[in-house]
Amino acid sequence: MNLNPMEQFAVKPIFGLSQPLLHIGSHPIFFTNQALLLVIVALASALFLSLAVKPNRLVPTRAQSMAELSYEFVANMIHSATGEDGLKFFPFVFTLFIFVLCSNFFGMIPGSFTVTSQIAVTFALAALVIGLVIVTGFMKHGFGFLKLFVPHAPWYLLILLIPIEVISFLTRPISLSVRLFANMLAGHTMLAVFGGFVVALGSAGGILSVLSIAPMLLIVAIMLLELLVAFLQAYVFAILTCIYLNEALHLHDHH
Amino acid sequence: MTAPDPDRLTDLGKRLDELQTKQADRAKRPPPSQSGIAFRFATEMVAGLIVGGGLGWGIDWLFGHFGFHTKPVFLILFFVLGATAGIRNVVRAAGEINAEIARKRSSGDEETGS
């Protein structure tokens, strides 16, 4: 039995597909457990949201109210963070929120794989967000967008402050992606470690086997906490996207 | 059964709207937990160091490519700038969290007052 708590994060080919699907350049592309979960998450969320909603229903079913609640939740979030003109980014933020939320929740199913525990996935998402922020800023303000990096200060301080502001802007994709990735990684590692305790105690025999119920109970509590973290991290990712978009749209107005 | 009084209906609608916005304000933002705050500060700081160091290293590499041996001048310079940016981010994050807590406290006072 393998008790390595990091084992669950290994990306490997599945379905016995040890041959790569295709080559891009000389780089082989495999169909991995990560790819499978990405496909499942995308399909499940898209199917659920489109099948649950029927426009001519007077009293919504449970599924429909779930879809409508998530719609309203994200719409309110964008409205409060960016104001009226941020709402044209609703499709983007909503997709991002639902995708991260579903990835986190699908990762909570025992035996599955958490795609958001891979820095490659979270960094790709964060880079997408920052790319959109930069494009939006330049489209809306032209080169005036660069004023974002110029704080109110005397000119001799600006020599120092502008590089700091630029670096501070560039840290955003890193802190955005590391936060999501590290939270998921830490939570799932903790679950696996306590799972290992149960197995080790259970196989020790005698009085120790009885004691294995204690880490088992702890796992239940951590599982509940992880469900909260799964939602919270999706929310944080979405709200930070809104905040960054707000800065691109309104520059320093909000101060 | 008589037709409903339109004034009362609009009044009811207004009251419902008020209640709903109040409810939404309260429910919308999950409270920042202590460990969440600590974790946020840590990532902001580390991200600053990574970006600063990475930028400096890249500039050194670029100059080295063109035959200027600046290594490790820019690495050191940008590492310090990155640390400054990281601290600035942490201070900014702390300010945001403070503002959020203050807002929550003021809305909480309203509730107990009414």
B53-104 pLDDT, tens digit each: 999 999 999 998 888 887 788 899 999 999 999 999 999 889 888 888 888 7
From the list B1, B58, B104, the residue with the least C-alpha distance to A170 is: B58
* Of B24, B43, B85, Cβ closest to residue A167: B85
Name which of B36, B47, B84 is nearest A164 (Cβ-Cβ): B84
Q: Which of B39, B40, B85 sits opposite A168 (nearest CB)?
A: B85
pLDDT over threshold 80, residue A226: yes
Interval A215-227 mean pLDDT? 90
Would you say B45 and B90 are in contact if contact means Cβ atoms under 8 Å apart? yes
Higher-confidence position of A96 and B37: A96
Burial class from Cβ neighbours inside 10 Å (0-12, 13-18, 19+) for residue A95 reads middle
B76 vs A: CB within 8 A: no
Task: Say if B58 is an interface residue toward chain A (CB within 8 Å).
Answer: no
pLDDT at A15: 75
Name the residue of chain A whose CA is nearest to B54's CA: A167
Say yes or no: A115 contacts chain B, CB-CB below 8 A: no
Which of B36, B48, B78 lies nearest to residue A171, judging by beta carbons? Answer: B48
Q: Does any CB of chain A come closer than 8 Å to the CB of residue B93?
A: no
Q: Which of A148-162, A184-198, B26-40 has the lowest mean pLDDT?
A: B26-40
pLDDT recorded at residue A255: 43
pLDDT above 90 for B26 = no
Specify the pLDDT at position A220: 92
pLDDT: which is higher, B9 or A253: B9
SS3 at position A31:
coil
**Is the confidence at residue A129, as pLDDT, over 90?**
yes
Which tokens hold the place of A144?
């005036």
Confidence of residue B113 (pLDDT cuts 50, 70, 90): very low
pLDDT surpassing 80 at residue A237: yes
Give the pTM. Answer: 0.81
Least confident of A30-34, A66-70, B4-8, B76-80: B4-8
Min mean pLDDT across A10-24, A34-48, A175-189 is at A10-24
Cα B104 to Cα A97: distance, rounded to the nearest angstrom: 24
A178 touches chain B (CB under 8 A): yes
The whole-number pLDDT of residue A44 equals 92
- How close, in Å, is residue B52 to chain A by CA atoms? 6
Cβ separation B50–A174 shorter than 8 A:
yes
State the pLDDT at residue B2.
Answer: 60
Q: In whole angstroms, give the CA distance from residue A104 to residue A113.
A: 9
pLDDT at A97: 93
Average pLDDT, chain A: 86
Residues 58-87 of A with CB under 8 A from B: 73, 76-77, 80
Cβ separation A171–B85 shorter than 8 A:
yes
Distance, CA of A133 to CA of A243 (rounded, Å): 10
Number of neighbouring beta carbons within 10 Å of residue A16: 6
Residue B22: what pLDDT?
67
Q: Is A235 on the interface with B (CB under 8 A)?
A: yes
